[in-house]
Amino acid sequence: MSTSLLYHGWGLKGYRYVRSHYGGGKLIFTVQPQPRSLTCPVCHGRDILQHGNIHRMWRDVSIGSKPIFIQMGIPRIECREC
């Protein structure tokens, strides 16, 4: 697994592969947004402050018979522009 596979395989742009682990019959990929890709979701401004993360995990398309989950800390941001 690599950051390149995230982009070319799953279309996840602006995220970095961190690690993968197996457990309970499933494969979990941990990814995180690349800091330079963070922008305000409303105005797309880059003058933001980050206030921690909210951890989320969602299911993705299986690889063979293995269920795949992607885990990420969703950044909480405050925009200084809007």
Q: Are 3 and 16 in contact (CB under 8 A)?
A: yes
* H or E element that contains 15: strand 15-23
Q: Does 82 bind Zn ion (CB under 5 A)?
A: yes
CB of 47 to Zn ion, least distance (A): 8
CB of 2 to Zn ion, least distance (A): 32
**Residue closer to Zn ion, measured from CB, 24 or 41:** 41
Question: Residue from 1, 40, 68, 77 that binds Zn ion (CB under 5 A)?
Answer: 40
Assess 50 for contact with Zn ion (CB under 5 A): no
List, edge to edge, every strand of the sheet that includes 15-23: 15-23, 26-33, 66-79, 48-63
